[in-house]
Amino acid sequence: MVGLSDVSKGPREKTVISLATSLDGKTLYYTTDGNVWSIPADDGTPNKICAGDGVAVDRNGKDLFVNLFGSKGTELFRIQLSGDPGKEIRIPADLPMNNLPISGSAVRPDGKVLLGVQTRDSCSIAWQSLTPGARRSRQCR
């Protein structure tokens, strides 16, 4: 469980769209107004990280997965917390991501990420391992 000592420094009168916690529970990551923010649990001072609409923490503890809704549809990025530039993660064209924020708990311990995708004829979910060619999908009924 994570608690904030001073939430008054956080997103006032803003809608938090997506929420994730660091592996050690010391930092919260959230999205509001199209940006990803971090807020240390012990002092509540927010820090803008990047543009984004959804956020999940990589199990390596060094990166975030961020999805961004834009003119090209929903895109997925791996953002390094060290400040290095993020990298776009290409999703196969036959599995376009839906326009819902990535879940804060979308990353499995083995590194696979659960992504919501859209198809023409049904709702679907897909496990994307973020390594080329290693994709499994399962249709919802």
Global model pTM greater than 0.85:
no
Q: Using an 8 Å Cβ cutoff, are 50 and 14 in contact?
A: no
DSSP string, 5-73: S-GGGS-TT----EEEE-TTSSEEEEEETTEEEEEETTT---EEEEE-SEEEE-TTSSEEEEEEEETTE
Cβ proximity of 12 and 32 under 8 Å: no
pLDDT (tens digit, 0 to 9) for every residue of the chain, 141 residues total? 333 434 455 556 678 889 999 999 999 999 999 999 999 988 878 999 999 999 999 999 999 999 999 888 889 999 999 988 889 988 877 777 888 899 898 888 888 888 887 766 665 555 555 543 444 444 333
CATH architecture of 7-139: 6 Propeller (2.120)
